Amino acid sequence: MNWLLVAVGAAVGAPLRYLTDRAVQSRHDSVFPWGTFIVNVVGSFVLGLLTGVTSARAQLLLGTGLCGALTTYSTFSYETLKLYEGGARGYAVLNAAGSLAAGLGAVWLGTAVAGPL
């Protein structure tokens, strides 16, 4: 039954990632992958919030399923490589460093908001 919770969370997270990416990217006239950046930071924050949730089912549904499908390391890696290869090396470095810093900051903030375990 655990796999079903993960699948349901992922069924929400994947389209949410796609729709958010398209909505954010359409508002920016830049080669920087703002959509992927935003979903990864938001997903990190939500995962941090979930540290206060003790329910294993909620962890599977929201942590593994929703956040796992919402965030995307593979797309981040691909977009960073394409920026670099396309000559936008500054954006590539900014994407790599900024994503790491913002993701860590977001997960830290999420855990801080969730409070002590």
Q: Binding site for Na(+): which residues? A: 68, 71
Task: Tell me the two tokens of residue 48.
Answer: 């941090």
96-113 in b/e form (b: 16+ CB < 10 A) is: eeebeebbeebbeebbee
- Look up the pTM and report it: 0.92
Q: Binding site: which residues? A: 68, 71
The string of DSSP letters for 8-69 reads HHHHHHHHHHHHHHHHHHHT--SSS-HHHHHHHHHHHHHHHHGGG---HHHIIIIIIIIIHH
Q: What is the pLDDT of residues 45-88, one digit of tens each?
A: 999 999 888 789 999 999 999 999 999 999 999 999 999 999 99
Q: Please report, rounded to a whole number, the percentage of residues in the chain having pLDDT higher than 90.
A: 91
Task: Tell me the two tokens of residue 38.
Answer: 């935003």
8 Å CB contact between 100 and 42:
no
pLDDT score recorded for residue 51: 86
Residue 117 predicted with pLDDT over 70: no
